[in-house]
């Protein structure tokens, strides 16, 4: 699918994509939206649109940027062009703490901070996940639990900043061919 005119560029770094979702979520009106980990961007009988981390990007970034999506409430990653589809799936993987899968969705065959050869790194993705601990609120269903989840995601993004190159693509990170 050809990228839609008006859709913004996808952040190069997973940490920046996570922050885009956090900022988007915090901008949503709680009288219109309800956080729900198992809904992308979906209207429910409570007259609210339920959304997850990726749904926050859909609601706050993608829908306002492109006329094609305005007026549609039930939107999923597959409704967007290839690069955004995989960015949204990367956010869902990050929500569950699967940073390796999140990087794969973004097209990286290798995570930053992971040795490609015998070169050791001071900090690896696994080190970050081990010290951060599990996301105890990855399955949120209300604003209170969602705010706890967002704090975990903020800390994840902050820790990823330590290992992500400031300007991707970095030659140390092998690129996978785009997914169809």
Question: How is residue 142 annotated by DSSP?
Answer: S
Helices (H), the chain: 14-27, 53-57, 63-65, 82-95, 99-105, 125-132, 143-161
Of 42, 56, 116, give the one whose Cα is nearest residue 92.
56
Give the model confidence (pLDDT) of 124-141 as tens digits: 777 777 778 777 678 899
Mean per-residue pLDDT for 140-155? 93
42 close to 74: Cβ distance less than 8 angstroms: yes
Count other Cβ atoms within 10 Å, centred on residue 67. 11
CA angle, corner 89, sides to 87 and 92, nearest 5?
115
pTM confidence score: 0.81
Angle between helices 82-95 and 14-27 (to 10 degrees): 80
pLDDT for 57 equals 94
Place of tokens 């992308």: 40
Contact assessment for residue 94 and residue 152, using Cβ atoms and an 8 Å cutoff? no
Higher pLDDT, 2 or 31: 31
Residue 174 half-sphere exposure, CB side, CA atoms within 13 Å?
Answer: 8
Q: Residue 44: its pLDDT value, please?
A: 80
CA distance 107 to 10: 12
Q: How confident is the model at residue 121 (pLDDT cuts 50, 70, 90)?
A: low
Residue with more model confidence, 36 or 111: 36
Q: Is 94 strand, coil or helix? A: helix
């Amino acid at each position: 699918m050809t990228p839609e005119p008006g859709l913004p560029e996808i952040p190069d770094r997973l940490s920046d994509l996570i922050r885009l979702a956090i900022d988007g979520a915090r901008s949503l009106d709680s009288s219109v939206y309800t956080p729900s980990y198992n809904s992308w961007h979906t209207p429910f009988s409570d007259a609210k649109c339920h959304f997850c981390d990726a749904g926050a990007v859909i609601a706050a970034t993608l829908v306002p940027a492109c006329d094609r999506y305005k007026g549609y409430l039930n939107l999923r990653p597959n409704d967007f062009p290839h690069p955004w589809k995989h960015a949204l799936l990367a956010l869902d993987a990050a929500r569950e703490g699967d940073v390796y899968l999140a990087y794969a969705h973004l097209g990286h065959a290798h995570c930053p901070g992971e040795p490609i050869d015998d070169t050791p790194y001071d900090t690896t993705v696994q080190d970050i996940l081990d010290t951060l601990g599990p996301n105890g609120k990855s399955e949120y269903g209300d604003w209170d639990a969602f705010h706890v989840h967002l704090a975990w995601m903020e800390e994840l993004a902050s820790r990823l900043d330590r290992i992500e190159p400031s300007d991707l693509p970095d030659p140390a990170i092998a690129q996978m061919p785009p997914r169809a």
